[in-house]
Amino acid sequence: MSDFLPEDNAREQDGQPAVDPAPGQEPGPDVETARVITGSPLAAVMASQASTTPPDESEIAPAPKLPPLRPNLLHTLLFFFIAFVMLLLGQLIAAVVYQLLTLGTQAHLSLSAAYQITASDPRLSIPTQAAIYGALVMLAVIVFSGLWLSPFWETLEWRASRARRFFFPLLLVGLLTGVAIGALGNSLPMPMPKNPPILHEMSTSTLGAWFLLVFGITAAPMTEELAFRGFLLPSLLNIFKWLERRGVSNAQVTRWIGIPVSILLTTIPFTLLHAEQVSDSWGPLVLIGVVSVVLCVVRLSMKSVACGAVVHAAYNFTLFAGVVYQTSGFQHLNKLMGS
């Protein structure tokens, strides 16, 4: 029907605006071209070409910026440096306080002697160490939250809510790990110390033994997991992720090489930390290394440091459970040393 309408009305009927010259002017070539093209198949072709024309580079939105890899090795070194300094200062302060408190009861007690007493008696050393660990965590939260400009616990993937949600399965993993490690220690031909220093510490007093137990299933696993699986393990793994971002490596290398290497390099210092407790005997150190691997796997698979802390605490509990049973609740500590 539009064929029978005037030209301008036909265009308006088709939904296209009429293109008219200004009053008193003849239609120019552009106007005539617009009249010819508008509403014709050529218009559809031009529209499709315009839609397929690649956008100008200045119009392309930049790729989203990847989040920074945290923690890195410098962050980990800083954390361990702070921990080392705080341990030395904390033990020194404890020795000075003990020296001052005993000033009127023990003549000429030197600072070195006071240091030796506060470091060897669990009734003094465990509260001191617990206070140092607490201060270390609080200082780390302040320092690294300011350094990262992001929440400390969130950046380290602590995720306590996930640990609460899977608390009983994690507890079971820790208990079974303790039972399995105990069975391996009794069945494999490995040198095991008869009276390791940790048993000697527990045998000194009932109160000290209870301090060791409570500390071993609370502050110790939490702080150790924060240090080794919160800082060290991810900082090592982030090296491979950084290489992956630079195009030097890829996801498969990170998965099959980066993760095992990071676990190994985390396990070595974690194992050596406990060497003195087992008289530097390589048998229990191997078993502690196996425990470290389990804790690393839990932390990476659950993406939660808190989950590893629950498993660690449950494993430590199995170590104390046998001692508690053997000594009837730390009432007969002489049985620990075979006397």
List the chain domain ranges. 2-51, 71-155, 157-339
Task: Tell me how far apart the alpha carbons of residues 155 and 114 are, in angstroms, rounded to a whole number.
Answer: 40
pLDDT score recorded for residue 28: 53
DSSP reduced 3-state for 54:
coil
State yes or no: pLDDT of 287 exceeds 60: yes
| Euclidean distance between CA atoms 160 and 196, whole angstroms | 34
Residue 106 — pLDDT band, cuts 50, 70, 90?
A: low
Is residue 72 over pLDDT 60?
yes
- The stretch 208-215 carries a mean pLDDT of 95
The rounded percent of the chain whose pLDDT value lies above 90 is 62
- Residue 235 pLDDT: 98
Contact between residue 311 and residue 177 where contact means Cβ atoms under 8 Å apart = yes
Amino acid 79: pLDDT = 99
CB neighbour class for 275 (10 Å; exposed up to 12, middle 13-18, buried from 19): middle
Report which secondary-structure segment, H or E, holds 33.
Answer: helix 29-37
Q: Which residue has the tokens 């690393």?
A: 296
Residue burial 133-170, b: 16+ Cβ < 10 Å; e: rest: beebbeebeeebeeebeeebeebbbbbeebbeebeeeb
**Dihedral Cα 211, 216, 221, 222, nearest 10 deg:** -20
Q: DSSP labels for 78-118?
A: HHHHHHHHHHHHHHHHHHHHHHHHTTTTSTT--HHHHHHHH
Q: Predicted confidence band at 280 (pLDDT cuts at 50, 70, 90)?
A: confident
Cβ–Cβ < 8 Å for 244, 254: yes
Is 128 exposed, middle or buried (CB count within 10 Å of its CB: 0-12, 13-18, 19+)? buried
pLDDT digits (tens, 9 = 90+) for 82-91: 999 999 999 9
- Dump pLDDT digits (tens) for 1-56: 444 444 444 444 444 444 455 555 555 545 444 444 455 555 554 555 555 555 55
DSSP annotation of 195 reads S
Mean pLDDT (the chain, rounded): 85
